[in-house]
Structure 1
Amino acid sequence: MAPTKKVLLCVVSGVVVVGVVGWAVGSQVQSPADAAAAHQPPVASLITASVEKRVLTSTVVTQGTVGYAAARPLNFAGTVEPSQGAGSGTQPLVTKLAVKAGHEINAGSVLLEVSGRPVLVLKGSVPMYRTLSRGATGDDVRQLQRGLTDIGFPTPVTGTYGAATEHAVSRWYASRHYSPATAPPEEPGSPERSQPPSPTTPPRTAATPAAPAGATVPSGELIFLRDLPARLTQLSASVGAQATGKIGSVSGSALQVQGEVRASDAQLFKAGATATVQTLDGKQFPASVTALATGASKAPAAGTSGGKGSNAAGDAGSGGAAGDAGSSTSGGDGTSATTSMRVALRNPHALASYNGQAVKVTVQVGSTKGKALVVPVSALSTRADGRAWVRVSHGRGKTTDVAVTPGLSVAGAVQVTPAQGGALNSGDQVVIGTRQGGSS
């Protein structure tokens, strides 16, 4: 190669090397402005959530056990009309059992026979403590009249046993294929059978015959039960045995759910509250709370698995014995304030195959009236004057503050109503926070 070309090549190569080195050095050099900009925090962007329109419901969740109501003793007391030829001192014996244990007892039905006479059942809370006959007055008479009317033998509910009540009793006994007991004939002009004849009462003659005997209800021929229909849970009486004292036990005929909730949660609702019962296989049944009773239960011992008990707007706890409700508010004595709760299904026979099983009970304690605007609680802010507001994002960093009135709050969500003149709609984006960097 000629010397001139070699010199030219060396010069070009040198220029290239110098240019590369200069670019490399220049790329590492920053102006003071560039250095300051590099240390600025990134532009913050908004974190938003959608405004929803839905029904917001607050609930208390606990566990319960399916079963029948606690059994109550069934007692026989009083006397029945003596059978023909039997003396007044004859010991009454059970001669027939009309209902078997486990079966249902209905108002107006025959429970058993004592000395050949029926022992009938009506609904009522006043015990049958005397024989009822014409002229008798009181709450037990009124109860009899109401019971007769309920089973299809109407009579005025006056609280006084008169001819209309006698007629209704006669029809009732006849419908069960029995003759009613009767009272001795009345003396003419005597208003009460229980009163002895007055010395001035004229003797009965052919012109003044005795009044006909009327139907009565002997004290042993009727048992009043508070809840009917009822279930005969146990029958201790047997044919040939003496009819006296306890003859069995009864309970409600419909399965129900018995459980417990923390007393603090029970204050959020009353008897009659809407509930849902969910079985272990996932089936759900509409129900309602029928009773609440405050008590105390033992808290789970340390190291054992206790149920969560009630949980506002949460899920049912697991663990613990079926139907037990633990509490996080236990005292030093190992007890916790609880409230017993009884829940009945709208269809009382729906739980027939779940007797004795544990179920989840969800009680509704609050709800919006239809669909409402709902936002996350974190979207709600309060000004110094106490007014609440949410910030609506319109994109590209543009926002608008909208004054609202908060309502029901459940599990991190809150109902909001725009103040007069404010605009807030389902689907709007409300600001719930900010993040560094990124875009809005």
Structure 2
Amino acid sequence: MRHGRVIAGAAGAVLLAGGGVAALTLTGRQDAPAAASAAPVATAEITRSDLADAEAVDGTLGYSGRRRLPNHADGTVTRVREQGSTVGRGGWLYRVDGRPVILMYGDIPMYRTLSSGSSGKDVEQLERNLKALGHDPGTVDGDFSWLTARAVRRWQDAAGLAETGSVDAAQVVVASGRLRIAEVTAEPGTAAGRSVVTTTSTRRIVHIDLDSADQQLARIGAPVTVELPGGGPARGRITSVGTVAEPEMDGGRPTGASTIDLEVTLADPRKLGRLDQAPVTVNLRGEHRRDVLSVPVEALLALREGGYGLRLADHRTVAVETGLYASGRVEVSGAGLAEGMKVEVPQS
């Protein structure tokens, strides 16, 4: 239960009007006074303790940065890496018509052909990669000089590409670091379409599709506990929170619910092993209140004048301020409340 939610099925509200007493459910339906007074009740104690908003949710072991890698090479796929393999700078991701598509590092995609006379940040990025691969482009300055062209031809010869002296998106894919082949989307012998492989980074994570109603639990840096398959609990933290709610679908139709993407990184990623897409349970922790009074949620009464109240065991009704809802209880405060006092709750 969350702060601010109306609790359906809680005890009826006590309305004082002209000296009469009537019962009003939280849904607004008026019942006969006799029926309300005859409803069986029990009592529960007001307790003082720490209260934490926590919930166990489903998660999936995986890798960060999953995406269908765009392909710009025309022809037939002739070779792909095995699923699960990793590729570093200068390595090939797949081959089209026998020609490799090479990985380079950076943050600027190959959006144009780079050749003699080109200049800009993307040229500088290319020069840094050429130098890291052992092909000296001269000064790394963002100007595609004859030295840059010579380094490109030497790199192309070593990589098995045609020695054109120019570079385009059919030859190079740019990523921020090493890539892992998560899925092959175009088998050898098929046409190289918009994508040939789906990739991820090599960083191990736990992915969660969190119900949007629980988004108060989604705080970057918040501690979590992950129950690993056969490996016991592991501690981690939320390291990424999606900013867009994705609608849940059932048979192609929206259900009315939505989720947000969370990523959790473990304090010791080695505990995740090599498992991919394995289900896990993640214990999320939200707000935490120390040394507060609380009652069972079903003890709350909705008051006519607004807000909530409690019906004490001595039949007095007192107004209360509510705070955190967690584990079936709600934080309460108000004049005259004390630990150990008895409040009425519906008898189950």
TM-score, structure 1 length as denominator? 0.45
2:118 matches 1:136: yes
- SS of the aligned residue for 1:377 comes to strand
Residue type of the alignment partner of 1:222: V
Structure 1 residues 163 and 342: alpha-carbon distance in aligned structure 2, compared to 1, 3 A threshold: same
Q: How does 1:68-83 map to 2 (within 5 A)?
A: 72-73=68-69, 75-77=71-73
Check the 8 A contact 1:373/1:415 in 2, yes or no: no
- SS of the aligned residue for 1:161 comes to coil
Structure 1 residues 178 and 115: alpha-carbon distance in aligned structure 2, compared to 1, 3 A threshold: same
- Residue-by-residue CA offset, 1:147-182 (whole Å, 9 max, x unaligned): 679989999987x334599399669949x9559987
- Residue-by-residue CA offset, 1:365-393 (whole Å, 9 max, x unaligned): 3235xxx323323799xxxxx9xxxxxxx
Q: How does 1:235-314 map to 2 (within 5 A)?
A: 236=186, 245=193, 248-252=196-200, 253-254=202-203, 256-266=205-215, 268-270=216-218, 272=220, 274=222, 275-279=224-228, 281=230, 283-285=232-234, 286-288=236-238, 289-291=240-242, 293-298=245-250
Quote the Cα distance in structure 2 between the aligned partners of 1:290 and 1:410: 22
Quote the Cα distance in structure 2 between the aligned partners of 1:334 and 1:418: 43
Match of 1:398 in 2: none
Aligned positions, number: 286
Deviation at 1:243, TM superposition (A): 8.9
Quote the Cα distance in structure 2 between the aligned partners of 1:71 and 1:359: 22
2:171 matches 1:224: no
- Residue-by-residue CA offset, 1:203-226 (whole Å, 9 max, x unaligned): xxxxxxxxxxxx653553312247
Quote the Cα distance in structure 1 between the aligned partners of 2:246 and 2:77: 43
Q: How does 1:12-411 map to 2 (within 5 A)?
A: 51-52=48-49, 54=50, 56-67=51-62, 72-73=68-69, 75-77=71-73, 99-111=81-93, 119-123=101-105, 127-138=109-120, 140-141=122-123, 144=126, 160-162=142-144, 166=148, 173=155, 216-225=166-175, 228-234=178-184, 236=186, 245=193, 248-252=196-200, 253-254=202-203, 256-266=205-215, 268-270=216-218, 272=220, 274=222, 275-279=224-228, 281=230, 283-285=232-234, 286-288=236-238, 289-291=240-242, 293-298=245-250, 335-346=255-266, 347-348=268-269, 350-352=271-273, 354-368=275-289, 372-377=290-295, 408-411=324-327
* Structure 2: gaps spanning 5 or more residues: 1-42, 301-305, 307-319
Deviation at 1:249, TM superposition (A): 0.8
Residue type of the alignment partner of 1:105: V
* Structure 1: gaps spanning 5 or more residues: 1-45, 79-90, 184-214, 300-332, 381-385, 387-403, 420-427, 435-440
Check the 8 A contact 1:296/1:338 in 2, yes or no: yes
Quick check: which one's strand share is greater? 2
Quote the Cα distance in structure 2 between the aligned partners of 1:148 and 1:276: 43
Quote the Cα distance in structure 2 between the aligned partners of 1:145 and 1:157: 6
Residue type of the alignment partner of 2:56: V
RMSD: 5.9
Deviation at 1:290, TM superposition (A): 4.2
- SS of the aligned residue for 2:245 comes to strand
Quote the Cα distance in structure 2 between the aligned partners of 1:92 and 1:47: 72
Quote the Cα distance in structure 1 between the aligned partners of 2:77 and 2:255: 49
Check the 8 A contact 2:241/2:260 in 1, yes or no: no
Structure 1 residues 115 and 48: alpha-carbon distance in aligned structure 2, compared to 1, 3 A threshold: closer
- Residue-by-residue CA offset, 1:321-380 (whole Å, 9 max, x unaligned): xxxxxxxxxxxx882312143433335554346544432233333235xxx323323799
Deviates more, 1:241-250 or 1:356-365: 241-250
